[in-house]
Amino acid sequence: MFTTKTYTKDFKYFKEKYDENMERMFAAVSDLYAEYWNDFFHFALFKDENESWESAFRNTHKKYLEALRIKDASKVLEMACGRGGFTNVLAENTSGEVLGIDISRSQLSHTKRFKRPNLRFKHHDIMKVDELGETFDAAVFMDADCYLPDKKLAVEKISKVMNPGGRFLLLGWCKQSGLNSMQEELVLYPFMKYWGIPSLETPENYKKYFEQSGFKIVEITDLNNQVRRDWDFGYESALAGIKKLSFKDLPRLIWKGMRLGGDGIRLIKEQFPAAIYIKVGFDVGFLRYVYFLVEKK
C-alpha cells in the first residue's frame, strides 16, 4: 500500500535536482504534449461550451496582454517560455524588447521558429532570474510555478528584476487550502510524482509572498470554472493516446539532444496516470488554476 513515505524520496529529488529533473522530463514529453495537447502548454480560458479553441486562446492571450500593459512596456520577460509561442505573441504586440527564458533545452529548441528583431530566448533558470542582469516592466509566468523548488524565494527573486510600476502575471497551479494529509496523499501526491512536482502552493500563501516581496495585488481570481474544458481535453487526449500509441511510437517523440536511456519511455508512460490524477484533482476541487496579477511598488 502507498503511504506518504512512498513519495518522500521522489519529492526530495524533484526539489534538490529540479534543474536536471526538468531538463529530462521535458526532453521526454515536449513533443508528446505538442501532438496530444497543443503547442502552448498553458490553458485557454473559455467563455462557454461552444467557444472554439482558437478563439479561446486568442481571447485569453488578449486578456493577458492587456493585464501586462504590454504596449507601454519597453522590457518584457516570459519565464518558463516553453516552446516560445506566447513569447512570440508578446513580441508581436510591443515595440519593446522581449526575452523568453526556460530551463529545458528541448523546449527551447522549438523557439528557433520565431524570428523578430525584438525577440530573444535564453536557457536560464527562474530560480536565478536575478542573475540575468536585466530588469523588466512586464513579466509573465504561466503553468510552471508548480515545478519550482521554493515558491517564496522565486517570488522574491522575480521582485528584484521588476521595475517600479511593472506588472507581473502568474497563472498558477495551486492546491486548495486546508486539505488534510489523506486528501493530499490520495489525490495530489500521485499527480505530483508523475509530473515531477516537488510541492504545490496555496493561493493564500502566494498572496502573502507577493505582499512580503514588495508587490501590490491587482487581482487574484480562481479560474477553475473557465478551464474545465482544458482539464477534460487533457484527460480525453490521454485516452486517445493510450488507444493509439505503442512502445514503437515512443522513441520518435523523445528529444535527441540528451541521453535519457530507459527514463525517456518511463517519463512518457507516466503522463497517463498523471492525466487521470489531474482529472480527479480538478473534479474534487483540490487543484486550482489561479490568476495572480500584481504590480511592483
Ligand X SMILES: C[S@@+](CC[C@H](N)C(=O)[O-])C[C@H]1O[C@@H](n2cnc3c(N)ncnc32)[C@H](O)[C@@H]1O
Task: Indicate the SS3 state at residue 104.
Answer: coil
Which residues of this chain interact with ligand X, rule CB under 6 A? 22, 26, 40-42, 80-82, 86, 101-104, 107, 125-127, 142-144, 147-148
Helices and strands (DSSP H and E) totals, the chain: 13, 7
CB of 16: closest distance to ligand X in angstroms?
A: 13
Minimum CB distance to ligand X, residue 84 (Å): 8
Residue 187 beta carbon to ligand X: minimum distance, rounded to whole angstroms: 20
Residue number, 11 or 183, with CB nearest to ligand X: 11
CB of 278 to ligand X, least distance (A): 12
The minimum distance between CB 270 and ligand X, in angstroms, equals 15
State the DSSP string of 101-112. EES-HHHHGGGG
- Pick between residue 156 and residue 185 the one whose CB is nearest to ligand X: 156
Helix axes 228-244, 271-283, angle to 10 degrees: 150
Shortest gap between Cβ of 126 and ligand X (angstroms)? Answer: 4
As given in the structure block, the three cell numbers for residue 30 are 515536449
Residue 177: exposed, middle, or buried by beta-carbon count in 10 A (0-12, 13-18, 19+)? exposed
Buried b (16+ CB within 10 A) or exposed e, 147-172: bbbebeebbebbbebbeeebbbbbbb
Give min distance, CB of 48 to ligand X, in A.
23
- Of residues 76 and 148, the one with the C-beta less far from ligand X: 148
Rounded Cα distance between 89 and 100, Å, is 11
Least distance to ligand X, CB of residue 148, Å: 6
Q: Which residue number, 126 or 253, has a Cβ lying nearer to ligand X?
A: 126
Paired residues of 182 in beta bridges: none
Question: Could you give phi then psi for residue 15, rounded to 5 degrees?
Answer: -80, -50
Based on CB atoms, which residue is closest to ligand X, 94 or 104?
A: 104
Containing H/E element for 160?
A: helix 151-160
- 145 near 117, Cβ under 8 Å? no
113: DSSP letter: G
Taking the least distance from each CB to ligand X, the nearer of 82 and 241 is: 82
Joined together, the cell numbers standing for residue 42 give 498553458
Nearer to ligand X, 41 or 121 (CB): 41
CA atoms within 13 A on the CB side of 41: 22
Nearest to ligand X of 185, 273 (CB atom): 273
Q: Which three cell numbers stand for residue 132?
A: 540575468
